Amino acid sequence: MTFVKTIISYLSKNGTINKMMLFESPFTDLNDQGLSGVFDNVADVSKVVKIIDDINKNAEVG
């Protein structure tokens, strides 16, 4: 949950997120592997990436 809250906080401040950020600080503070270290199931990682893609797409202007 802390990792997801970090994503939400980042999105609230920045509007979008580059998926590569999920492997950098502050997302590596919980696990040094970032997203793949927090979610060990590939399906879960894919779901998170899909949600982020959808959010980023919705945030696009024009």
The domain in which residue 47 lies consists of: 2-59
User: Averaged over 7-12, what is the pLDDT?
Assistant: 95
Total count of domains within the chain: 1
User: Averaged over 17-34, what is the pLDDT?
Assistant: 94
pLDDT at 51: 95
Distance in angstroms (rounded) separating the CA atoms of residues 31 and 62: 36
Write down the mean pLDDT value for the chain: 93
* Tokens 């590569």 belong to residue: 20
pLDDT at 3: 94
List the structure tokens of 20.
């590569």
Confidence of residue 62 (pLDDT cuts 50, 70, 90): low
CA distances from 31 to 20, 40, 46, 62 (A): 15, 11, 18, 36
Helix segments in 17-59, DSSP class H: 35-38, 42-59
At residue 58, does pLDDT exceed 70? yes
